[in-house]
């Protein structure tokens, strides 16, 4: 009788351990899938934010170039510094193209002292 109880207990424990292992395995698999999906969403969001920032910087750089260099033939010192900082950020995001040509124009533009906020 004791042997029967011991055998039943062993089989019960073995079965419970199997169920626990299966549940843990499924949870781990689900957690990995969730992590992969989160990573993919984060990568897509990061790419969208990066692209948006590139577009904003490009528009602002073109606008400043048009206003000062193309429009007036010079650029105040502070505007040149701002342009350079924004160009470096733009370039670090992986874009370049025509903005590099504009950067050369800005570097070669005559420097004028800051005239005042009203002209910026």
Which tens digit of pLDDT belongs to each residue from 61-97?
999 999 999 989 899 999 999 999 999 999 999 877 8
Angle, in degrees to the nearest 10, between helices 2-64 and 77-92: 140
Token pair listed for 63:
């606008």
Q: Which residues face 81 on adjacent strands?
A: none
- Give the per-residue pLDDT at 118: 43
CA distance 80 to 111: 8
Per the CB < 8 A criterion, the answer to whether 114 and 78 are in contact is yes
For the chain, what are the domain ranges? 2-119
């Amino acid at each position: 009788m004791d042997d029967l109880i011991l055998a039943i207990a062993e089989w019960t424990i073995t079965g419970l351990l199997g169920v626990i292992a299966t549940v843990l395995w499924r949870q781990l698999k689900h957690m990995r899938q969730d992590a992969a999906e989160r990573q993919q969403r984060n990568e897509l969001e990061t790419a969208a934010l990066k692209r948006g920032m590139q577009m904003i910087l490009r528009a602002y750089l073109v606008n400043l170039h048009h206003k000062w260099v193309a429009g007036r033939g010079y650029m105040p010192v502070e505007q040149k510094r701002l342009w350079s900082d924004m160009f470096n950020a733009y370039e670090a995001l992986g874009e370049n193209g025509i903005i590099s040509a504009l950067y050369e124009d800005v570097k070669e533009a005559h420097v004028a002292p800051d005239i005042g906020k009203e002209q910026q």
